[in-house]
């Protein structure tokens, strides 16, 4: 899970850098190439965030399932005694 949190921090930093760059360039007129470049970068970051959060939810689900299974096993042992 720690590696997922680290990846999130990197993605967030990348997004913040892009946001600052766009804000700094806002007063200037952009050509179509610059707009397409920013659009591609934003789309890549969006996909990376989606994949990351899918992995986080999957990890949490697996952890929760393992935790519940462990509790159920302990309850069964107590009941069978």
Residue-wise pLDDT for 9-63, tens only, equals: 999 999 999 888 888 877 677 888 888 988 999 999 999 999 999 999 999 898 8
Give residue 9's pLDDT: 92
pTM (2 decimals)? 0.66
- How would you class 26 by CB atoms within 10 Å of its CB: exposed for 0-12, middle for 13-18, buried for 19 or more? exposed
Give residue 6's pLDDT: 92
Where are the domains positioned within the chain?
2-80
C-alpha to C-alpha distance for 28 and 10, rounded to whole angstroms: 28
Size of the chain, expressed as the number of residues it contains: 81
Give residue 47's pLDDT: 95
């Amino acid at each position: 899970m720690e590696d997922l949190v680290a990846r999130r921090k990197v993605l967030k930093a990348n997004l913040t850098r892009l946001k600052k760059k766009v804000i700094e360039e806002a007063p200037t007129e952009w050509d179509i190439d610059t707009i397409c470049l920013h659009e591609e970068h934003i789309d890549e970051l969006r996909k990376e965030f989606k994949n990351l959060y899918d992995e986080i939810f999957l990890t949490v689900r697996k952890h929760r399932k393992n935790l519940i299974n462990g509790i159920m096993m302990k309850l069964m042992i107590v009941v069978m005694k």
